[in-house]
A and B are shown apart, each in its own frame.
Chain A
Amino acid sequence: MSDAILVVGAGVAGINCALNAARYGLKVFLVDDTPSIGGMMARLDKTFPTNDCSICIEAPQMYEVDNHPNIEVLTNTSVKKVKAVAGGFDVKLATQPRYVDEEACTACGACVAACPVSVPDELDGKVGGTRKLISIPFPQAVPNVMAIDPACRSGQMRAQGACVGGCAVDCSQCRECPIALCVQACRKEGKDAIRLWQGPASRGVAVRGIVVATGIRDARPPAGLYGYGVHQNVVTYTQFERLMNAGGPTAGRIVRPSDDAHAHRIAWIQCAGRGLAGGVPYCSKVCCMVAAKQAIITKEHDAAVQTIVFHNELKAYGKGFWDFQQKARQLGTRYVRARPYDVVENPATRNLIIRCEDIDSGRLLVEEVELLVLSTGLQPSDRNEKLARVLGIDLDEHGFFKEKDPLLAPLETKVPGIFLCGGATGPIDISESVVQATAAALKAILSGRAGRVESAP
């Protein structure tokens, strides 16, 4: 039987699953289909309910994963094929090129300075962050090396006129781009780490068990919801998280996208889009706490900023959560139980005028704020459908992975030997993700033991 397991998705759940199994003595293949491990936590500022800094607690784990002799980290990698065999699975993994030699690149940044093309950073959304076409996802990324956006290599950027060269051939055919400034810069630094001709690679691994930890993504608001996408100063809670973050695009200054001015009056709308077409239909569990966190941190940055949270049901389901929400109140955050109707922009100030019904009093409320944050909830990874097909396991109606029997066999799927943890199971916070990840590690360790494995459908 193989002494290895495969963990798909390297957010905090996948990382903790891998660490437990590796410390136990198993070999772990930890794959993520983005250029760095870390998942959502790598984007967060502080984390409820204790407000310790997210990257401070996650980065040491990321480095440990990277340096652990039992763990092989495969980024830009996805699961292509899975076959159940006696004692486990044969898995085919496909790695997309990052166009940079992982061993040779030292993350010196010379190429980044040289690259002429900036695009909006998907991490930061519209709050002002940009990145170059060659970039590192975030400073603590693991592996700590650059990656070139496939948009550059496919010639897409040239088609958009972003490239200076007048080459006749298609970029993707070209082995040695004469105008690739990054290559020149890298060579000038005495390195030669860029591999414009890198192609996809695939490899097979044999494992005894598989843990799916593909996590969550923040839901995008339905078009036009409360002025999102129409008015510049309406942002999502993930974008706001980036604004607060000292490592984010504004170095932690909470400013408005429209004019980069300090926001003095900020509102949150909870359950934004919930139940609407294009919104999430379920409670995402964490948003009430995220809003409390964001309000607290906003107040800590500047106690004079006014903060209002428009909410319906308020959840405080975990240890210390209630006290945390009370702290937000004590710091002066106004909690209003309200049903928002609409949001219009004051064209002169770019402020937002929120009209809503105060549920407790039944009265119409009108509030004007400088920045509006939409708590839109959590959605499953958009790659789940594909992965479910490859693994032969089911998704629930929302696109999260389905447990075979949550009550009697938690974290197990219908295929013996394949387990779930973290956001892959549904909306979840960090602590619960770590609990499940720890449990799933043991499940995977125990799977494939004599007589346990039946063949997958």
Chain B
Amino acid sequence: MSPDARIGVFVCDCGSNIASVVDVPAVVEYARGLPGVAFADEGRWSCSVDYLARLKEAIRAHALNRVVIASCTPRTHEPLFKASVREAGLNPYLLEFVSIREQVSWVHRDLPAAATQKARDLVKMGVAKAALLEEGAEIRLAVQQDCLVIGGGAAGMTAALHVADQGFHALLVEREPRLGGLLNRVAAVAHDGRSLPAGEIAAQLAERVTSHPRITLRTGAVIDALAGYIGNYQVTLRPAGDPEGARETFAASTIIVATGMQELLPAGRYGYGADARVLTQLELEERLRNGAVPRSGDAVMILCVDSKNEQRGCCAIGCQVAVKNARALREQGAAERVHVLYRDLSMLKGEHSEVEAAKQAGVRFLRFPDERYPALEERAGRLVVRVHDLLLGRELLLPADLLVLTPPFRGDETVQEIKGLLKVSASADGFFQEAHVKLGPLDFPSDGTSLCGCARGPKTLKESCEEGIGAAMRVSIPMQRGFVEAAGIVAGIDLSECEHCGQCARKCPYGAIRLDEDKTPSVLQALCKGCGLCAADCPTSSINIVHYTDAQLLAQVEAALEEDAAHKILGFVCHWCALGGVDMAGVSRLQYPPHARLIRVMCSARVPIKLIERAYELGAGGVLVAGCEFPPCHYITGNYACEKRMQRAKKQLAKKGYDPEKLWNIWCSAADGPKFARAMHDMVERLGLAREVGADGR
């Protein structure tokens, strides 16, 4: 405990919400006797404007330098109390929040004595941690206004333009001699009943890019080397296809990846590669574009070639492209008859009208069963497709002077290289993985790096361009502000014991830990999200997380288990999901046994095995670690790391002669109050902890 700690404890009645169950005056009295506490008070409505004024006054009058609030839940009210503490002139990191409404009065309504005891314990834990709290501060890293855009297709060009239009500088790197990407090969771009020559769209975008005063364009160039982090990248370019060519070096603060996609060529399928009459959709587009489609009597298109199987899903745009091209073949008079053979027509926008228009133009659509793909035969030098027509319920033979296959797509071949440079991941088909499919679709995990367009997955031109604009938005936030900022909850490394194993750098989901030549780690604190994964796995405990230090967590564990440990469940809950579940159980007034003493951590991955062991040593009746449901954790992979560690913990505990079955692990969503309540019932029952309930004579 810091010797000069003067802790103020403010316990809320929440009207009758807390006070009707918990004996609040008794808790306040108890708090007054705790070490370090200089002041304790009961508030009828702690969050009301008048009480907040009183709180600030008390901080000043009693020279308080740590504050414990015991009231509702930090998930909704922490910002408010933090602001008040700051207004009183105290560093807001010196506040600790204790939840005695959601975790106590609302869920132990009929057990006032046990509830009061639990509230006391929680306050004691809060005070124990508060005594060790240290000041924190937001951490900033300077960011300049220059962005590297890799790939000069529609997405990359759109992104570069939107970066540059804000007054920032963009460096656009395209491997090919010409800007445009797929738009240089596709014939016409169709969308919702409209169609424009792809070349025209590419030319328009390229013209705006080349004439933009703040875009530096390098065509025929690729990335030779890339080092650094947000605000501080060094990019080296070299001529494409010339490993010895002259290098050129630039500085960049942020990066957008827009490397697009390519067709996954269906080598060997339906004679592709060996027979000139068999083309892919993109090859057909090139011929349509140049007016070079050989006139033929019969054309057949097969959809979903190599898609929707064990290896990969739907190619997303194949149906749309096929419908467009089938119609073009008819309208340009390149084929007398066109048959489109499909499994499911996956058309979205304007589905009906596009298919209708193609039918009008004479295209015939034929559905084949998922498990019976068409087969190709050659008869008297003519290609013939044998297909089972689902509608007719029988097999048909379709001659094909032109056979067009609709293959799936894959990321650019440079994806492997870029993956390594940026330390990001990609799917088996070479599409980059975003930070969060739903809420972070354009972000890589590291701040200041973004992705867009077909590099993420196949999509239409409109979607590629929208993503280009969106990616520009994402990287522009730090460029406009001039810095990236991390909340003060960040990792710090004490190198005195560090073994230079490099684990922390490998495991950080955000690339916030760098190793130098002799594997000495350092934290780029502005990139750190404070999950604590690195700290919990460091073999020498060299890493600490501000506001969640080992010492602070340990103090909470020890305070919780000082008395009557055998009848308590010591729980660690992650802030984002599990604590949300706990709160939800509270809001829903689910009643469960009062054995748990919960400790909040930002991520379940923060919990080190040694703390669990300590709880066992102190005789805890049970230990619970609760995190986000799978797959996605607020910190990407924290729950996976936690799960693995819990398995290790059980083995280690068993080796030391402890009962590993006392360690529970649940994954609880923020909506799943019932799950948390059930876990409490189950733990109490299966671990035989029921006695404490008897405190109320039940």
Q: Which positions in A face B, CB cutoff 8 Å?
A: 12, 16, 20, 23-25, 45-47, 49-57, 59-61, 63, 67, 103-104, 106, 108-110, 139-140, 144, 189-191, 245-247, 251-252, 281-283, 285, 313-323, 359-362, 406-408, 410-411, 426-427, 430-432, 434-436, 438-439, 441-443, 445-446, 449
Contacts and interface: CB of A to CB of B under 8 A. Distances in A.
A54 B671 contact: yes
Interface string B341-361: 000111111011000000000
Contacts of A144: 76
13 contacts: A52-B628, A59-B670, A60-B634, A63-B75, A106-B15, A317-B346, A320-B437, A410-B462, A426-B349, A431-B441, A439-B469, A445-B166, A446-B162
Contacts of B17: 108-109
B669 A56 contact: yes
Nearest to A432: B463
B462 A67 contact: no
A60 B314 CA distance: 32
A445 to B, nearest CB: 8
A318 B457 contact: yes
For the complex of A and B, 5 pairs with smallest distance between CB atoms: A322-B313, A53-B669, A438-B470, A439-B469, A56-B670
B523 interface: no
B438 A108 contact: no
Interface stretch (B21-29, B42-50, B90-98, B542-550): B42-50
B670 A323 contact: no
Contact of B576 (A56, A191, A313, A439): A56
Contacts, number: 216
A319 B560 CA distance: 46
A246 B308 CA distance: 33
A53 B670 contact: yes
A190 B462 contact: no
A106 B670 contact: no
A442 B162 contact: yes
Interface residues of B, number: 81
A322 B314 contact: yes
Contacts of A439: 466-467, 469-470, 473
A446 B165 contact: yes
A323 B439 CA distance: 20
Nearest to B342: A313
A191 B45 contact: yes
Residue from B44, B165, B466 with most neighbouring chain A CB atoms (10 Å): B466
Contacts of A430: 438-439
Residue from A54, A314, A435 with most neighbouring chain B CB atoms (10 Å): A435
Contacts of B456: 319
A61 B439 contact: yes
B674 A24 contact: no
B169 to A, nearest CB: 16
B558 interface: no
Contact of A56 (B48, B472, B474, B577): B577
Contacts of B465: 410
A24 B196 CA distance: 35
Interface string B582-602: 001001100000000000000
A191 B15 contact: yes
B568 interface: no
B67 to A, nearest CB: 19
Contact of B308 (A316, A362, A449): A316
Contacts of A104: 48
Contact of A251 (B349, B470, B669, B674): B674
Nearest to B632: A52
B352 to A, nearest CB: 7
Contacts of A54: 671
A314 B316 contact: no
B631 interface: yes
Residue from B162, B470, B477 with most neighbouring chain A CB atoms (10 Å): B470
Contacts of A319: 313, 431, 437, 456-457
B45 A313 contact: no
A360 B369 contact: yes
A252 B308 contact: no
Contacts of B469: 410-411, 438-439, 442-443
B15 A20 contact: no
Interface in B49-99: 49, 75-76, 79
A283 B673 CA distance: 35
B628 A313 contact: no
Interface in B171-189: 189
Nearest to A247: B671
A282 B352 contact: yes
B340 to A, nearest CB: 14
A322 B457 CA distance: 13
Contact of A53 (B16, B312, B457, B671): B671
B313 A314 contact: no
B348 A315 contact: yes
Nearest to A324: B313
B346 A313 contact: yes
Contact of A246 (B194, B628, B675): B675
Given A316-B346, A322-B314, A431-B438, A282 B481 contact: no
Contacts of A25: 480-481
A411 B468 CA distance: 13
Nearest to A407: B191
Given A359-B390, A407-B191, 9 more contacts: A24-B476, A53-B629, A106-B45, A246-B675, A320-B313, A322-B308, A430-B438, A430-B439, A432-B463
A369 to B, nearest CB: 24
B461 interface: yes
Nearest to A248: B671
B16 A110 contact: yes
B540 interface: no
Contacts of B463: 432, 435
A47 B439 CA distance: 11
Contact of B313 (A323, A438, A446): A323
B420 to A, nearest CB: 22
A57 B438 contact: yes
Contacts of B440: 434
Contact of B438 (A45, A313, A314, A434): A434
A407 to B, nearest CB: 5
A411 B436 CA distance: 23
B263 interface: no
Contact of B474 (A50, A411, A427, A438): A438
A435 B466 contact: yes
A191 to B, nearest CB: 7
Interface string B98-140: 0000000000000000000000000000000000000000000
Contacts of A12: 439
A323 B312 CA distance: 8
Contacts of B442: 435, 438
Contact of B631 (A50, A282, A406, A436): A50
Contacts of A407: 189, 191, 194, 196, 201, 461-462
Contacts of B45: 106, 190-191
Contact of A24 (B316, B393, B477): B477
Contacts of A281: 352
B412 interface: no
A411 B480 CA distance: 23
Residue from A406, A432, A439 with most neighbouring chain B CB atoms (10 Å): A439
A215 to B, nearest CB: 15
A291 B189 CA distance: 32
A212 to B, nearest CB: 15
A410 B466 contact: yes
A189 B16 CA distance: 7
A411 B465 CA distance: 10
Contacts of B411: none
A320 B439 CA distance: 15
Nearest to B75: A63
A313 B470 CA distance: 31
B643 interface: no
B580 interface: yes
B204 interface: yes
